[in-house]
């Protein structure tokens, strides 16, 4: 079971100035004992030019290599294909390709770029534009050795019918989705995950899913043949190091349940007969 921590989980610490990308990598390897990094571009710097500085990206990659960490996902905000303003779309298009280069430097296995479009459905114009953008992204991703796709994140992407339609339209082996598990926009969180798990290339597993339905969520992924990382994501911006650790513990326990079954009630001390054990209780 390959667990990662979406580095957005530490956005509160980032805002407080108590973590940077190098501290995040150190925590992944030596605090949480993971072998994966899951890097949000916001952790790379306060502005785009710092985030995408090639020399600095190479230092981040070196830091991962020194810690035997693999970048299972790079998630880039601020470069989604669709915006209503044509000039903004052009800027986002150029920026997206810079983020794809950053992902290549980092050795990312998957990349998340959102689609844009804030309503329940995309218009025909929006859908065609987004689909073509991701066809182009998928070609670049395949050439660089990773997969790419949007997250079930905001707007139209929160709904399985839209994501399945877009997946069919892009139709590339280098395209899939980052499944933010357990959304309540469908008939049930289980049905939501079940509809989308077959096209997932990465996951975000939030605190609610970890606390309330983790066994069923992992079972759905296993039934779908999912082979990617299980990415913890925390959102409160408070007490993040401990909260992330708690989510990882729940995820590790649920993985053990999936392999071996849940622990049953107390079976007794095998070194005592029942009468003697009763006298000890």
Number of Cβ within 10 Å of residue 240's Cβ equals: 21
What pLDDT, on a 0 to 100 scale, did the predictor assign at position 277?
61
pLDDT tens-digit readout, 53-66? 999 999 999 999 99
**Alpha carbons 140 and 149: distance in angstroms, whole number:** 12
Reduced 3-state DSSP string for 219-272: HHHHHCCCCCCEEECCCCCCCHHHHHHHHHHHHHHHHHHHHHCCCCCCCCCCCC
**Alpha carbons 107 and 109: distance in angstroms, whole number:** 6
For residue 46, name the pLDDT band (cuts at 50, 70, 90): confident
Tell the CATH topology of 3-280. Answer: TIM Barrel (3.20.20)
What pLDDT, on a 0 to 100 scale, did the predictor assign at position 74?
98
For residue 272, name the pLDDT band (cuts at 50, 70, 90): confident
As a whole number, the mean pLDDT across the chain is 94
Report, as an integer, the average pLDDT of 71-100: 97
Q: Are 181 and 193 in contact (CB under 8 A)?
A: yes
Report, as an integer, the average pLDDT of 92-105: 98
pLDDT tens-digit readout, 194-219? 999 999 999 999 999 999 999 999 99
What pLDDT, on a 0 to 100 scale, did the predictor assign at position 99?
98
pLDDT tens-digit readout, 21-34? 999 999 999 999 99
Q: Which residues contact 108 (CB under 8 A, 6 or more apart)?
A: 39, 71, 72, 73, 74, 146
**Alpha carbons 7 and 28: distance in angstroms, whole number:** 10
Supply φ then ψ for residue 71, to 5 degrees.
-80, 100
What pLDDT, on a 0 to 100 scale, did the predictor assign at position 255?
81
Look at residue 45 and tell me whether its pLDDT is greater than 60. Answer: yes
pLDDT tens-digit readout, 246-265? 999 999 998 877 666 665 66
State whether the Cα torsion 116-122-126-131 is positive or negative. Answer: positive
**Alpha carbons 181 and 216: distance in angstroms, whole number:** 11
For residue 174, name the pLDDT band (cuts at 50, 70, 90): very high
For residue 147, name the pLDDT band (cuts at 50, 70, 90): very high
Q: Are 69 and 102 in contact (CB under 8 A)?
A: no
Count the residues in the chain. 281
Closest CA to 33 of 3, 7, 61, 64: 3
Look at residue 279 and tell me whether its pLDDT is greater than 60. Answer: no
Q: What is the DSSP letter of 197?
A: G
What pLDDT, on a 0 to 100 scale, did the predictor assign at position 197?
98
For residue 1, name the pLDDT band (cuts at 50, 70, 90): confident
Report, as an integer, the average pLDDT of 108-116: 98
Q: Are 141 and 108 in contact (CB under 8 A)?
A: no
> In Å, what is the CA distance from 54 to each residue of 39, 58, 74, 232, 236?
16, 6, 15, 28, 31
In the chain, where are the structural domains located?
3-280
pTM of the model: 0.91
């Amino acid at each position: 079971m390959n667990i990662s921590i979406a580095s957005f989980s530490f956005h509160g610490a980032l805002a407080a100035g108590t973590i940077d990308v190098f501290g995040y990598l150190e925590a992944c390897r030596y605090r949480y004992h993971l072998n994966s990094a899951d890097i949000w571009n916001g952790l790379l710097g306060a502005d785009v030019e710092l985030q995408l500085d090639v020399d600095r990206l190479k230092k981040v990659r070196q830091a991962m290599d020194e810690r035997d960490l693999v970048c299972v996902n790079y998630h880039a905000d601020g470069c989604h294909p669709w915006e209503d303003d044509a000039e903004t779309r052009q800027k986002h298009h150029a920026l997206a390709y810079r983020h794809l280069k950053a992902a290549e430097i980092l050795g990312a296995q998957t990349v998340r770029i959102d689609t844009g479009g804030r309503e329940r459905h995309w218009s025909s114009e929006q859908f065609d534009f987004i689909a073509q953008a991701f066809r182009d992204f998928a070609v670049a991703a395949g050439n660089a050795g990773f997969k790419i796709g949007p997250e079930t994140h905001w707007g139209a992407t929160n709904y399985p019918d839209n994501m399945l339609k877009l997946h069919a339209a892009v139709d590339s082996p280098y395209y899939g989705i980052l499944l933010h598990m357990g959304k309540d926009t469908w008939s049930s969180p289980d049905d939501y995950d079940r509809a989308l798990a077959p096209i997932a290339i990465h996951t975000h597993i939030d605190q609610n899913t970890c606390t309330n339905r983790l066994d069923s969520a992992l079972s759905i992924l296993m039934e779908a043949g999912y082979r990617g990382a299980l990415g913890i994501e925390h959102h409160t911006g408070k007490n993040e190091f401990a909260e992330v650790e708690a989510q990882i513990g729940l995820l590790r326990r649920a993985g053990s349940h999936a392999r071996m079954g849940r622990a049953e009630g107390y079976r007794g001390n095998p070194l005592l007969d029942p009468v003697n054990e009763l006298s000890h209780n």
